[in-house]
Amino acid sequence: MSSAFLQCISCAAIFPTTQPLYQCSHCGDLLDVNYTLDPLDPTEIKERWRQRRLSRRPIDISGVWRYRELIPFYGQEENIITYPEGNTALLSAPRSARYAGLRSLQVKHQGFNPTGSFKDNGMTTGVTQAQILGMRAVMCASTGNTSASMAAYAARAGMLGIVFIPEGQVAFGKLAQSLDFGALTLQIRGDFDVAMSLVREIAPEIGIYILNSVNPFRLEGQKTIAIELLDQRGWDVPDRIVVPGGNLGNSSSLGKGFKELYDWGFIDHMPRITIVQAEGADPLYKTITSADQESLVTVYARTLATAIKIGRPVSWKKAMRAMTWTDGWVTEVSEQEIADAKAIIGQDGIGCEPASATTLAGVRKLMNQGTDKPISDDEDIVLLLTGQVLKDPDYTVRYHRGELYEDYVTETRVIHSTGKIRSTYANAPIEVPPDKEVIKRLIEERLSQLPKI
């Protein structure tokens, strides 16, 4: 038996899970989902998880809900919204290892998820909590992967997905998913941080559930990446896991996952978490290398790795906590280093979106330059690849054709046409100014069109 509650990461204030809360009402900081658990027998539970792989039940097939003893917030099984997700590949990458200067290297590829990114692990738990709360709609700001995943899970749950994307800054491979899955897609004139600010203002005012990484229930699903990784490795803990750093929900959730596994006796030590950011979108790196690590150093984000093009990450304190817990580190890499690392990962027959390639670029940089937390060539390292190669095919083709630039403008237009096909079920994105009242009117109009419950 267990009970779930929300707890502030700073002042430790406790709140119930029965309301849509994202931050502490006392100090304003982020919240964790924590539990009062009966004593756990790790050996028995590990065997239970292994046996569930033979089951045909959807919650056993899921690579998230299979580990439900460590995410027991959902109450009744019928509340769970699963695709299923997880069960992502753990692959060897010998060419990537040689490129980085390592003897061997593994990658945990979250691009094998249903919508092609790690966001599915967290969206199943986030949308499940929305279902528990009786929400009719969910909302997020996104550089692409979050919107694609949320739109899919909202559709599966019969909810309206509402997506705020920065205009002209989302790869078509990701935008296409949001549109096809029926989300109300609003292209905001501004960057991700402008879109995120609007989401945090508007959603509470009109009673819509936020599913960005500020939502602690989303991170509960993402922490199962840590559990599944160790399960796949026979509970052999790697020396280091390397992750891209954008809004920092991934590194935050991995830190929480490894810490809980350690505290509950499933492992006897934790891997170091190393976070890698793009040089043009490096607020965490600037913060941790500054004199004052108590305040986030924000930046105006610039990088072709759009999935991590974020200058004010909401989960930065949780990411700092994850590095403290695991003796981790953060570094930054250039656009050239990202592009070359992505091509090398492709040579292993794996393929990934640009943001994922920061991991290999970061390891190579730390091997070559050294740091106060150095990497040795015999380290047991796992790279977390966050999204599949088809998320941003334009980037890949341009690189291999020698047409990739840090700054460029393209134009897409029809120069000849015949035999027009009717867009019978069109769901076009809507361009809007960063005006809260205009956006609220659009959302309320779409909500009024939903079937009555």
List per-residue pLDDT tens for the chain, 453 residues long: 468 999 999 999 999 999 999 999 999 999 999 999 888 999 999 999 999 999 999 999 999 999 999 999 998 899 999 999 999 999 999 999 999 999 999 999 999 999 999 999 999 999 999 999 999 999 999 888 999 999 999 999 999 999 998 887 677 787 889 999 999 999 999 888 899 999 999 999 999 999 999 999 999 999 999 999 999 999 999 999 999 999 999 999 999 999 999 999 999 999 999 999 999 999 999 999 998 888 999 999 999 999 999 999 999 999 999 999 999 999 999 999 999 999 999 999 999 999 999 999 999 999 877 665 678 899 999 999 999 999 999 999 999 999 999 988 777 788 899 999 999 999 999 999 999 999 999 999 999 988 776
Assess whether 244 and 318 both reside in one domain.
yes
Are 7 and 13 spatial neighbours (Cβ–Cβ below 8 Å)? yes
State if pTM tops 0.85.
Answer: yes
Contacts with 337 (C-beta within 8 Å, 6 or more apart), sequence order: 361, 364, 365
Is residue 11, in this structure, part of any structural domain at all?
A: yes
Are 288 and 179 spatial neighbours (Cβ–Cβ below 8 Å)? no
Assess whether 331 and 261 both reside in one domain.
yes
pLDDT value of residue 368: 76
Nearest 10 degrees: CA dihedral of 174, 224, 260, 381? -80
Are 221 and 82 spatial neighbours (Cβ–Cβ below 8 Å)? no
Is residue 231, in this structure, part of any structural domain at all?
A: yes
State which of 400, 425, 444 marks the end of a domain.
400
Q: Which of 50, 59, 60, 13 is nearest to 32 (CA)?
A: 13
What DSSP designation does 118 have?
T
Assess whether 300 and 365 both reside in one domain.
yes
Structure tokens that stand for 205 in this block: 């005012």
Is residue 186, in this structure, part of any structural domain at all?
A: no
Contacts 24+ apart (CB under 8 A), 204-208: 204/20, 205/440, 206/440, 206/443, 206/444, 206/447, 207/135, 208/135, 208/137, 208/138, 208/139, 208/162, 208/443
Is residue 158, in this structure, part of any structural domain at all?
A: no
Is residue 76, in this structure, part of any structural domain at all?
A: no
Is residue 154, in this structure, part of any structural domain at all?
A: no
CA distance 123 to 153: 7
pLDDT value of residue 1: 45
Assess whether 227 and 324 both reside in one domain.
yes
Is residue 286, in this structure, part of any structural domain at all?
A: yes
Assess whether 345 and 266 both reside in one domain.
yes
Residue with token string 């978490």: 273
Name the domain count of the chain: 2
CA distance 135 to 204: 12
Is residue 145, in this structure, part of any structural domain at all?
A: no
pLDDT value of residue 453: 60
pLDDT value of residue 2: 60
- Which domain does 318 fall in, by range? 89-114+219-400
State which of 370, 400, 430 marks the end of a domain.
400
Look up the CATH number of the domain holding residue 243: 3.40.50.1100
pLDDT value of residue 173: 80
Assess whether 396 and 311 both reside in one domain.
yes
pLDDT value of residue 324: 96
